[in-house]
Amino acid sequence: MNPIHKTSLAVLLAGALALPAGAALAATTHAGATMMMGAKSDAAPVGTLTPMIGNFQPADLSALDSASSIRVIDAKQVYSSADQSKIASAQKAANLGRLHDAINRDATLKNWFAANKIDVNRVIGVNVSNGADQVYLF
């Protein structure tokens, strides 16, 4: 092997080892996902949202991990008072602790929420169907 190639390889290897593990993985996570606030037109009908409250699959959080953008929908801003009452009832019956715990165990997702100043305890649901990466707050 050419001495210059040996030196180049050594420099590249040293540089790669000097990076923190998170930096090396950043390209495959949503750490840089753009947060977009959702409007009423982005929100699911309340009849679709209420069964989603507190329900998720690990694959849903994985989809958020690889999203390039995540639309955040604040139910208190986009739903009517009558719809908010339905959401509040569904929220009381749901096991939101399981969802919040799962988000908090996913370091990258937890950091994304913190960086975007979103309280994880306000999350009531996620929707990753049809390429729509959405997080619902209440």
Domain segments of the chain as ranges: 26-137
Mean pLDDT (the chain) is: 83
Query: Measured between alpha carbons, how far apart are the two ends of the chain, in Å?
Result: 62
List the one residue out of 121, 72, 119, 126 whose CA is nearest residue 101.
121
d(C-alpha 53, C-alpha 100), whole Å: 12
**pLDDT given for residue 2 in this prediction:** 53
d(C-alpha 79, C-alpha 83), whole Å: 6
Kindly list the distances between the CA atom of residue 124 and the CA atoms of 18, 23, 103, in Å, as whole numbers in the listed order: 39, 30, 11
**pLDDT given for residue 132 in this prediction:** 81
Q: Which residues of the chain have pLDDT under 70?
A: 1-31
| CB atoms closer than 10 angstroms to residue 13 | 10
